[in-house]
Amino acid sequence: MRRYVLTITCPDRVGIVAAVTGLIAGHGGSVLEAAQHGDLQSGRFFLRIEIVADSLPSGFGPAELATALEPVASEFHMEWHLTDTDVHKRVVLFASREDHCVADLLYRWRAGELECDVACVISNHEDLRALVEWHAVRFRCVPVGAEPDAKVAAFAEIDRILEHERADVIVLARYMQILPPAFCAARPGRIINIHHSFLPSFAGARPYHQAFERGVKLIGATCHYVTAELDEGPIIEQDTRRIDHGDSAEELRRVGRDVERTVLARGLRWHLEDRVLLNGNKTVVFP
């Protein structure tokens, strides 16, 4: 069923929901789903509404709905976004050598669990080419050298690829490179990352082996938006698994990789469905 998804962020005050739903009803629109949240600390209000496209008059599409919304948006000082579920977002996956997240996302995409177009996979190594091309997705290898000039050149090439592919969202599916700050700043709320949830503990190489040596009892993963500050962007989703003293370091790694897959897939799906709204350095998620 085709739907228009309207998301709104604005200063909280009386009458927001009534004004928006009244406008929709005034044009004969049927609301399939609605969720709202008022943040008492920031004084901000968040609203997500799904409108059944066929309930609106013939010829009254997203452009006409956006025009009708403008007076209400101006009155309430709204930041708003309107999407059409028939227009899929274009996703570009970044990866290095580990395949578990890329393989899972490509499987879910082929199975219809993720409503998007996977434009290509960009990697700094050749290891995943066969896997990606088996899914009939373009694979672009862009090596990233250690020298500063080499890294600048690599990300200039990546920028060209992203522009050519008209990327709406980037997913770091275990991409083991630090993105340049300017690259991140140019795409707020459009780069999604996954990492183990031990941070700031056990940073660096072999985090699951480090955790094993400390005898941790919980392991997990965090999906978040990327900002110029490394691993400090707004969190979208997290999950944990309990382990015990009998589990080996490899078992911790196996369980951790499984959590990474599921958390990243949930975070991406919610982003694709416009269920994640930024609230400063936090998010409001309507799952």
Residues labelled as active-site residues: 231
Phi, then psi, of 94 in degrees rounded to 5: -105, 135
* 132-138, Cβ contacts within 8 angstroms, sequence gap of 24 or more: 132/102, 132/106, 135/106, 135/109, 135/110, 137/106
Query: Which of 268, 96, 91 has its CA nearest to residue 177?
Result: 96
Query: Which of 78, 75, 74 has its CA nearest to residue 48?
Result: 78
- 41 C-beta neighbours (distance < 10 Å), count: 8
Residues found in the chain: 287
Residues 202/211, Cβ–Cβ less than 8 Å:
yes
In 139-235, where does DSSP find H-type helix? 148-165, 181-185, 207-214
Residue 216, CA distances (Å) to 41, 222, 252, 256, 269 in order: 34, 17, 10, 12, 30
Tell me the C-alpha distance between 218 and 286, whole Å: 26
Residue 98 corresponds to which tokens in the numbers above?
């580990």
Residues with Cβ < 8 Å from 195, sequence gap 6 or more?
221, 222, 231, 260
